[in-house]
Structure 1
Amino acid sequence: MDKNQFLGRGWQFPPAFSAGNHQVMMNESEANINQSINLVLQTYRGERSLLPDFGSDLHHFLFRNRDATLKDEIALSVRQTLLHDEPRIHVDQVEVLYLAESDELVVIQVDYTIRQTNTRHNHVFPFSLLEGTNLTVGPNGAEPR
């Protein structure tokens, strides 16, 4: 089996078209896996009617206080989600980082090994704890008035 067949080839997301020949832009191999990781983590579990178990539960962590427990829960959730929905990789480590300059932004770094080629890669996924709002968090995590 060709390496690229196993690693996958698919439409670039969001869909884009080349100007010259009006073909759908494609990605393959490691780029396809990174795109797949993004799609899995951005999709809410239950959002796809034909694949109700596909996706992550990251939306459950919105508006939570930033602490060590939250880091552990996010890391465990990401690890389980990728184990279930991305069979081409083995997740080596998930690290959740709080950015000092931002109260709402969390960076999730996934270190993984591609099973077929045994090559190591990492993927950084930005996650906002205040997603979909223009709110800022006041002192002690209180909402502004």
Structure 2
Amino acid sequence: MDNSLTNRQKEFLGSGWSFPVTFSVGNHQLVLTRYEKNIEDSIDVIMQTKFGERPLASEFGSGLQQYFFKKMDETLKGEIKKTVETALLDNEPRITVLNIAVVFADMLAGRIEITIDYEYNQTNTRHNYVYPFYIKEGTNL
């Protein structure tokens, strides 16, 4: 992260509710995120949201859940990469995606790591974000 920018220069990165929504212990105030953390939270929400999950914004999200229980092969990597790229292009205007890498981190557990390299549109500062996605979603029932 570019620590040379002042808070005033980072205002364009925004602020908002933390995800998941939490309250501070001492004064029970809503916890907010700012700047780089706000964008990371936004990416996390986009990756976790199914299409149609938000009634007033039915196209919001990534729809990654459609890949649950799919065969882990090169075709799946390409589909996930395209899905993430489109979701971020449509839902997060503060960044430009530079690269998306999809890696099968644990085939037995169905764990895929999605690494997103991006830069902030206003300052061209580069960052990356790793999202763990589990193909074999399940419980211990």
| TM-score (normalised: structure 2) | 0.88
If you compute each CA radius of gyration, which structure gives the higher value, 1 or 2?
A: 1
Superposition deviation, residue 100 in structure 1: 4.2
| 1:70 lines up with 2:76 in the alignment | yes
* In 2: Cα distance, 1:100 partner to 1:17 partner: 34
Q: Residues 95 and 66 from structure 1, CA distance in 2 versus in 1: closer, same or farther, beyond 3 angstroms?
A: same
After TM superposition, the structure 1 = structure 2 runs for residues 38-77 of structure 1, keeping only pairs within 5 Å, are 38-77=44-83
Q: Residue 10 of structure 1 aligns with which residue?
A: 16
Contact 1:3–1:117 (8 Å) recurs in 2: no
Q: How many residue pairs end up in the alignment?
A: 134
- Give the aligned CA root-mean-square deviation in angstroms: 1.6
| 1:126 lines up with 2:121 in the alignment | no
Q: Residues 68 and 101 from structure 1, CA distance in 2 versus in 1: closer, same or farther, beyond 3 angstroms?
A: closer
Q: Residues 133 and 18 from structure 1, CA distance in 2 versus in 1: closer, same or farther, beyond 3 angstroms?
A: closer
Which 4+ runs in 1 deviate beyond 6 A? none
| TM-score (normalised: structure 1) | 0.86
Superposition deviation, residue 103 in structure 1: 3.9
Q: Which amino acid aligns with 2:11?
A: Q
Structure 1 spans left out of the alignment, 5+ residues: 136-145
